[in-house]
A and B are shown apart, each in its own frame.
Chain A
Amino acid sequence: MKPGRVIGTVTLSHAAPQFRGARWLVVSPMGPAELTGKNPGLSQQSTPVVYDKMGAGTGEAILYVEGAEATQPFDHPMPIDAISVAIMDQHYYAPPEAGA
């Protein structure tokens, strides 16, 4: 799982039939500066598109999973490799100070 901030959504006009009803989130992965709140904006990391069935909204912090495990919740083949798994209510992140 990786933490990320939802920064938008994607809609498709033509898509594979498995994607009927799917929601897609554009996610900015959260690094140390974003998790500690030092950078309230976007991270420098590239932005994955993540399948979502929880209804996460723009601006919310989520946890998402990348890799083959992303298809595990489905009982039919699904051509995705990233899925949202949690909407974070609260998070706390405090790495040790340098030299500590």
Chain B
Amino acid sequence: MLLARIDGFATATLAHPSLRGQKIVLCTPVDEHGRDAGSPIAAVDPMGAGRHAKVFITTDGSWTQGTVHDDTSPIRNQVIGIIDSL
């Protein structure tokens, strides 16, 4: 589980089929004070988090395989919550 800030997005035509129709966000991991804490990562975002929103990301691939309905999906990172306060 990671805390991160939504800093952008990516589009891809050529991608694993399980990414079809998924919004892909680029986010920066942050620490509990909101400071940057690592290199940017990409995640699928079924929640529709807004720009610079703080979010909660799971890196559990088997959970994400369930939500994209594809057992062969290699995707790990998924936004699973938008943080109100921390």
Contacts and interface: CB of A to CB of B under 8 A. Distances in A.
Interface in A63-97: 63, 65, 67-75, 83, 85-96
Contact of A72 (B5, B28, B72): B72
Nearest to A82: B74
Contacts of B72: 72-75
Given A2-B39, A30-B40, A88-B10, A69 B26 contact: no
A22 interface: no
Contacts, number: 110
Interface residues of A, number: 36
Contacts of B28: 32, 95
Contact of B61 (A31, A68, A86): A68
A87 B14 CA distance: 6
Interface string B4-33: 010111111111100100001010100000
B75 interface: yes
Given A3-B26, A86-B24, A91 B10 contact: yes
A3 B40 contact: yes
A30 B78 CA distance: 19
A1 B41 contact: yes
10 contacts: A2-B42, A31-B39, A45-B39, A74-B72, A85-B16, A86-B12, A86-B14, A92-B26, A94-B51, A95-B7
Interface of B: 5, 7-16, 19, 24, 26, 28, 36, 39-43, 51-52, 61, 65, 71-77
